[in-house]
Amino acid sequence: MLSRYLPILVIALGIASLAMGIGFIVEGKAKSDLLTDAMREEQITLGLTQEQIDQGSLVDTAGEAEKAGDTIREHRRSIAPTYGDLLGDGRFDPENPAHVTYMQALNLETYLYFAVASFGLTTAVQVTGIVMIITGIALAAIGVVVMRLRKAASQPC
């Protein structure tokens, strides 16, 4: 009984995997585009060459965001190596320009590194989608082959 419906089940799983793979790719691409657009709105040029800036380039890729984040980290650490070192034994003072600059740098650095991680995640989701599509095609093909073999085996010679 199970062997009768097994090829159909395998084909259905293949189609489901194919559909999910397409969904993963579409969603990953949509989120990647959203990140790119959001980064372009910020108009960050840190880490780009003057020629790139003159051409209208902005930080809008994982590599550029990581480079800009690394630059900000270096600048922030020139103010104080750590947040604890910045404060010493005191508290954050919003009137202290060094404290404010440090916190602004920390916020931008976090934003840029979050973008790097997010771009990595969208890439992983898209690659997973590709693997799911390949798996779906393979499953569907196996199901079709098993169905044909079953039909051929059930026919008298």
Express each pLDDT in 33-44 by its tens digit.
999 999 999 999
Poorest-confidence range of 26-30, 90-94, 137-141, 142-146? 90-94
The C-alpha atoms of residue 34 and residue 28 are separated, in whole angstroms, by 10
SS (H, E, C) 53-86: HHCCCCCCCHHHHHHHHHHHHHHHHHHCCCHHHH
pTM: 0.82
Whether 3 has a pLDDT exceeding 80, the answer reads no
Confidence label for 140 from pLDDT (cuts 50, 70 and 90): very high
Please answer whether residues 99 and 80 qualify as being in contact, where contact means their C-beta atoms are separated by less than 8 angstroms: no
